Amino acid sequence: MTDSTDVAGLPRSWFQRSDAKQERLKAARPFSSGKILNSARLVDALQAIIKPGDRVALEGDNQKQADFLSRSLAKVDPAVIHDVHLLISTISRPEHLDIFETGIARKLDFSFAGPQSLRVAQLLEDGKLEVGAIYTYIELYARMFIDLTPDVALVCAVQADREGNLYTGPNTEDTPTIVEAAAFRHGVVIAQVNEIVDVLPRVDIPSSWVDFIVEADRPFAIEPLFTRDPRHITELQILMAMMVIRGIYERHSVTALNHGIGFDTAAIELLLPTYGESLGLKGKICRNWALNPHPTLIPAIESGWVQSVHSFGSEVGMEEYIRARSDVYFVGHDGSLRSNRVLCQLAGQYGVDLFIGSTLQMDSDANSSTVTLGRLAGFGGAPNMGHDPHGRRHSSTPWLEMITSKAPIVRGRKLVVQTVETFREGGVPSFVERLDAIEVGKHSGMAVAPVMIYGDDVTHVVTEEGIAYLYKVEGEERKAALAAVAGVTDIGRQADPKRTARLRERGVVAYPEDLGVKRTDAKRSLLAARSIDDLVAWSGGLYEPPSKFRSW
Amino acid sequence: MTDSTDVAGLPRSWFQRSDAKQERLKAARPFSSGKILNSARLVDALQAIIKPGDRVALEGDNQKQADFLSRSLAKVDPAVIHDVHLLISTISRPEHLDIFETGIARKLDFSFAGPQSLRVAQLLEDGKLEVGAIYTYIELYARMFIDLTPDVALVCAVQADREGNLYTGPNTEDTPTIVEAAAFRHGVVIAQVNEIVDVLPRVDIPSSWVDFIVEADRPFAIEPLFTRDPRHITELQILMAMMVIRGIYERHSVTALNHGIGFDTAAIELLLPTYGESLGLKGKICRNWALNPHPTLIPAIESGWVQSVHSFGSEVGMEEYIRARSDVYFVGHDGSLRSNRVLCQLAGQYGVDLFIGSTLQMDSDANSSTVTLGRLAGFGGAPNMGHDPHGRRHSSTPWLEMITSKAPIVRGRKLVVQTVETFREGGVPSFVERLDAIEVGKHSGMAVAPVMIYGDDVTHVVTEEGIAYLYKVEGEERKAALAAVAGVTDIGRQADPKRTARLRERGVVAYPEDLGVKRTDAKRSLLAARSIDDLVAWSGGLYEPPSKFRSW
């Protein structure tokens, strides 16, 4: 080891982090055999490895959860381990917050809280929890390579071999990224696995990056978040989907795209083999996708629409279907999916031309948010997909079509499409003068209001009334275009019929009839699949829906 | 294998890509033993594996080059292998274009051409080469997960073991990303290595992702691109660096940042331990970096300024220094750097608060480009670092300080700083009415002018005259602020002294005296190192500069 003196002339070690790691590894020896931690002694091992104040990255995203590790972490003695700084994508399990109650953890950097968001807010108010910041998924990983490098990473995989190589199975997701941030800066990497085997189907993470593996008491938790039952798709959603296909995908020749999760986008996926086919669009639109393995894409795949799908994560029940459709998905030589959130986010930002997603609230500038009063939820990945990446330099037809200026210096834009029904359930208007997010942000002491997608990034807004081609206009005219599709909400009532007529003539606003879409055609019979059962049938029995989606 | 019928009722295979891969692997058998290709038969092996029209990703970035593979590819028979679609980051070796002369390749997607850019333009004009698009580095990788998935990936590493696990050494860079895109969609991955060994220092890429390894005839080519000899730093650059430290880093509390390559930023790095120290800024600014291992950062590291550096790639000669400063850099358990371009780009976009880089030309809207007439060069990574990522949601002090509006919905901004001397060598003005890039774009048939950094993303412009805080103003006032620091260029002469005085009062423009920077202090003696030799001394002899930088 090479030491030197610091500026004050004192001897300084440049190996403090690697020395500290060696100490931690040594402390875990009583509870391990080689790289294998004794499952029965995991709490003791964590207590030996983690130090007070450590930054601990705990794998817990919107799909998979290192829950044997999180449950064990909650059992350590707070007198020994306290004031941990927790880095986690998604707060979703009770023990993620129990550790703040008991003092094991104190500071939190996270991306999404969902159902636990009320409790986060309460702990914050009680002074038991300090929020560093609320991130999108990839921002949090980005900081792990800058100033939030984990001292300990707690991750999960399906299998490990005895050397510690990991097989993640289809839900590779964030594991390689978290492990890389820790492993290459002297962090200790501990992976829980469902089982330890002699030979892995494939290696997703080399043992060279892993310090310990531990066999979990039960397979890691996983949620089917990307499944939408076609039974719940409404005719309004079908109408909007028809408009999107004609008025956006066909018009701008969109071949590479990303769909947010929701019934609006599920409807589009299910109309491709029927309505899309009738328009002769197969092969012309929607060929290459950055998308989780949505079951509702099955009919389009089976009908030959889809060339490729790269995924952030996987989806429960899609394993055998993916394996059998190996031309379409990214799979390993073992046949199972390799997902990767960071690379799919990269692809979604720089490799595709369009994002479409739904929102619950939109203001007259087209700012939107799914945040509602009293919840501090976070956004996960939508803000990254739903913005125009100014760092893009290569061109494509849709990207160039967003240019409206004749100036010598211009750039294209990613198509950022928001679908929104003018009224939510219970007759609550979706178009509002002021987003709830503004109050939520103030109440939670956030530096800026938690906006999901900023209006200046939005190129198109689709409602059941029509499409506003916002990229074509600015200022007051932009507000007028939005009002023209905002129905009978207060915002919509501000639309001046004469002005709207002119905007329609100029193609700034299009109503269904302007697009050749008949409202009366928007029937559920147009969906390629009208139930989960239909999806199973399309898949030839390969798709195996989780029981909550089975009605038979 | 599960087959099905397509929409026309014909039997359809869903395993065309994996079947094709098996064919390719089989065809290579005569030239291989297990995963090891016979070096003497590499040309034959490539001829057996690659098919006409294939998309071939060839590793060749601005640092390392898979040159045994590229030289061998240039030797295949164009009657057998032709019309290849080449995906490559940096066109830098003659054989990269020879293959277009001979017809082996036809279509090109690339990021940067540099010295070969004239020849690219010529081949284009001769109809021998077709450009898909010119990308930034990460855009090209993004497309590899969407619609440009490689059929064959030709990459390089330092060592492989006999199973095909790869050790990349410090220049990990793009290899894992290219390999992932190919390996998980049935592409054939071939890695040239400097040597095949029994045990690797660490595994960077698991053998599970690699189909073939081949021992190269000589170590892969590598360029020291990030080394700037302090002897060439001018006093104007020192003056600008002093202004940046006082007027930007100190003012906005910038702790996490990225420096572009150049003498301007080298000057800043070398002033931290002297001028920065005298201002009491150690620990307050410039702690966490997304940066290649610039030798000019050595004095700041040795003086205790730097907590961490994550790198896109490595730098020749810095290997032993990095190994001995393991608290600062990202290293494997073997002690050598692990770089990763995609993850460092992620960190640079979402994890740091500031980018600073130099440009050759800037117009009155602060659009800038390094493109000059007659060259079709591309930009590599600067556009990605030099833009404000609208997908960011977490806040930090510098990011929030860019907010000037009192509206309820706002967002912060990344600080994007451009340094530019008002005149280039030979008295050519840097500030121009019209960027050369506009003509270059037109002449090359590009859809939009090749702008490196768009003015609307720029928050600060620094010249030897002063700093324009562009984020504070809009429209005509913004142009006036820029003119106020544009010296005696035509743009600068348009500045109205009275208006400039008001802009200075409001802090929109600052001259050195407004920042407490004395022009007469801007001496070379202020540099912590004034030569490569000084850098070696600072490093305690650990930095081993390449011979072209040695003067002793």
Structure tokens at A80: 């020994």
Q: Could you read off the pLDDT of A284-309 as tens digits, one per residue?
A: 999 999 999 999 999 999 999 999 99
Q: Are strands A415-419 and A509-510 parallel, antiparallel or unpaired?
A: unpaired
pLDDT at A118: 86
pLDDT at B458: 98
Helix axes B341-350, B137-144, angle to 10 degrees: 120
Find the mean pLDDT for residues B24-32: 98
pLDDT at B117: 84
Backbone angles phi, psi at B178, to 5 degrees: -65, -45
| Spatial CA neighbour of A216 closest among A159, A149, A142 | A159
pLDDT at B5: 47
pLDDT at A11: 63
Among the partner-chain residues B7, B288, B383, the one whose CB lies closest to the CB of A393 is: B383
| Spatial CA neighbour of B131 closest among B176, B171, B86 | B86
What confidence category does residue A250 fall into, taking pLDDT thresholds of 50, 70 and 90? Answer: very high
pLDDT at A1: 33
pLDDT at B121: 85
CA of A359, closest CA in chain B: separation in Å? 16
The rounded distance, in Å, linking the Cα atoms of B146 and A475 is 35
The rounded distance, in Å, linking the Cα atoms of A191 and A211 is 8
pLDDT at A376: 66
CB contact under 8 A, A17 and B287: no
What confidence category does residue A2 fall into, taking pLDDT thresholds of 50, 70 and 90? Answer: very low
CB contact under 8 A, A308 and B149: yes
The rounded distance, in Å, linking the Cα atoms of A342 and A176 is 9
Find the mean pLDDT for residues A468-474: 98
CA of A228, closest CA in chain B: separation in Å? 24
The rounded distance, in Å, linking the Cα atoms of A228 and A527 is 13
Q: How many Cβ atoms from other residues are within 10 Å of residue B520's Cβ?
A: 8
For the purposes of burial, counting CB atoms within 10 Å of the CB of B231, is it exposed (0-12), middle (13-18) or buried (19 or more)? middle
Find the mean pLDDT for residues A435-439: 92
pLDDT at A9: 54
Structure tokens at A304: 């030959």
pLDDT at A84: 98
pLDDT at B3: 40
The rounded distance, in Å, linking the Cα atoms of B68 and A268 is 48
Is residue A6 predicted with pLDDT exceeding 70? no
CB contact under 8 A, B14 and A338: no
A344 to A70, A385, B143: CA distances (angstroms):
26, 10, 10
Interface probe with A: pick from B1, B108, B184, most Cβ of A within 10 Å: B184
Find the mean pLDDT for residues A505-522: 98
Structure tokens at B135: 């990308």
The rounded distance, in Å, linking the Cα atoms of B201 and B337 is 12
CB contact under 8 A, B326 and A184: no
Q: Could you read off the pLDDT of B305-322 as tens digits, one per residue?
A: 999 999 999 999 999 999
Sign of the CA dihedral running A320, A325, A326, A331: negative
| Strands (DSSP E) found in B113-248 | 130-134, 152-161, 166-167, 188-197, 212-215, 221-222
| Integer-rounded Cα radius of gyration of chain B | 25
Counted residue by residue, chain A has a size of 552
Q: Could you read off the pLDDT of A400-412 as tens digits, one per residue?
A: 999 999 999 999 9
Q: Could you read off the pLDDT of A30-78 as tens digits, one per residue?
A: 999 999 999 999 999 999 999 999 999 999 987 899 999 999 999 999 9
Per the CB < 8 A criterion, the answer to whether A155 and A61 are in contact is no
The rounded distance, in Å, linking the Cα atoms of B483 and B232 is 28
A424 to A301, A358, A368, A430, B375: CA distances (angstroms):
32, 12, 14, 6, 55
| Strands (DSSP E) found in A230-367 | 256-259, 288-290, 308-310, 354-358, 361-362
Residue tagged 């590793």 (tokens): B59
Within 8 A of A2 by CB-CB distance, chain B residues are 324, 540, 542
CB contact under 8 A, A2 and B395: no
The rounded distance, in Å, linking the Cα atoms of B510 and B506 is 9
Find the mean pLDDT for residues A337-341: 98
Q: Provide the 8-state DSSP code for B219.
A: P
CB contact under 8 A, B343 and A180: yes
Q: Could you read off the pLDDT of A158-201 as tens digits, one per residue?
A: 999 999 999 999 999 999 999 999 999 999 999 999 999 999 99
Interface probe with A: pick from B145, B379, B446, most Cβ of A within 10 Å: B145
What confidence category does residue B113 fall into, taking pLDDT thresholds of 50, 70 and 90? Answer: confident
Within 8 A of A435 by CB-CB distance, chain B residues are 409
Per the CB < 8 A criterion, the answer to whether B19 and B3 are in contact is no
Q: Which residue would you say has higher pLDDT here, A226 or B216?
A: B216
Within 8 A of A396 by CB-CB distance, chain B residues are 133
Residue tagged 């900081």 (tokens): A143
ipTM attached to this prediction: 0.96
CB contact under 8 A, B454 and A409: yes
| Spatial CA neighbour of B454 closest among B349, B539, B359, B338 | B359
Question: Could you tell me the domains of chain B?
Answer: 32-222 (3.40.1080.10), 230-535 (3.40.1080.10)
Is residue B43 predicted with pLDDT exceeding 90? yes
What confidence category does residue B441 fall into, taking pLDDT thresholds of 50, 70 and 90? Answer: confident
- Secondary structure (DSSP) of B492-528: HHT--HHHHHHHHHTTSEE-GGGGT--GGG--GGGSS
Summary mean pLDDT of chain A? 94
Interface probe with A: pick from B134, B199, B287, B394, most Cβ of A within 10 Å: B394
Per the CB < 8 A criterion, the answer to whether A166 and A66 are in contact is no
| Spatial CA neighbour of A201 closest among A296, A295, A100, A331 | A331
For the purposes of burial, counting CB atoms within 10 Å of the CB of B151, is it exposed (0-12), middle (13-18) or buried (19 or more)? buried
> H or E element: which one contains B266?
helix B263-271
The rounded distance, in Å, linking the Cα atoms of B442 and B498 is 39
What confidence category does residue B2 fall into, taking pLDDT thresholds of 50, 70 and 90? Answer: very low
Instruction: Locate the chain B residue with the closest alpha carbon to A390.
Output: B387
The rounded distance, in Å, linking the Cα atoms of A141 and A135 is 9
Within 8 A of A146 by CB-CB distance, chain B residues are 256, 288-290, 308, 310, 347, 351-352
**Coil, strand or helix at A157:** strand
Per the CB < 8 A criterion, the answer to whether B208 and B275 are in contact is no
Within 8 A of B386 by CB-CB distance, chain A residues are 391
For chains A and B, count residue pairs whose Cβ atoms are closer than 8 Å: 309
- Rounded to whole angstroms, the maximal C-alpha distance in chain A is 83
Q: Could you read off the pLDDT of B57-110 as tens digits, one per residue?
A: 999 987 899 999 999 999 999 999 999 999 999 998 999 999 999 999 999 999
CA of B148, closest CA in chain A: separation in Å? 9
Is residue B159 predicted with pLDDT exceeding 50? yes
Q: Could you read off the pLDDT of B322-351 as tens digits, one per residue?
A: 999 999 999 999 999 999 999 999 999 999
Find the mean pLDDT for residues A117-131: 90
Instruction: Locate the chain B residue with the closest alpha carbon to A134.
Output: B394
Is residue B260 predicted with pLDDT exceeding 70? yes
Among the partner-chain residues A343, A387, A388, the one whose CB lies closest to the CB of B145 is: A343
Q: Provide the 8-state DSSP code for B378.
A: B
Q: Could you read off the pLDDT of B451-465 as tens digits, one per residue?
A: 999 999 999 999 999
Within 8 A of A208 by CB-CB distance, chain B residues are 200, 202-204, 332-333
